[in-house]
Amino acid sequence: MGNTISNGVKKIENNKNDLPIITVIGKDAPGIVAQVSTLLWKKGINIEELNQGVIKGNFFMIMAVDLTKSSVSFEVLSRELKTLGQKIGLDISLYNQQIFTAMNRI
């Protein structure tokens, strides 16, 4: 994943096989998917893949996202997702796909 700077705005270039991963974990409540996807939409970030579910009242979601058309950096997006997670009582994290895969390999 490479970074370029254009007009002072940091852009992230993604290989389609190496999209950043967002995880969302916590107690289920209405509007979780809407709130996370709205934040992404406002930043011009496309959701390429999404899996979510609820087990015994616990919500989980994993998203692969494309940042190529967004002006927000990986670091800024990570902070904004953490802030949203704190606001709605969930753990929301952003990972490089290679790191996420290595962490979750069994």
What is the CATH architecture assignment of 30-103? Answer: 2-Layer Sandwich (3.30)
Residue-level pLDDT at 72: 93
Residue-level pLDDT at 18: 81
- For the chain, domain boundaries: 30-103
Residue 33 three-state SS: helix
Percent of the chain with pLDDT over 70: 75
**pLDDT digits over 4-26, tens only?**
434 344 444 445 568 999 999 99
Average pLDDT, the chain: 84
pTM over the 0.85 mark: no
Instruction: Give one word for 100, left, alpha or beta, with left for phi > 0 and alpha for psi -120 to 50.
Output: alpha
Separation of alpha carbons 18 and 79, rounded Å: 20
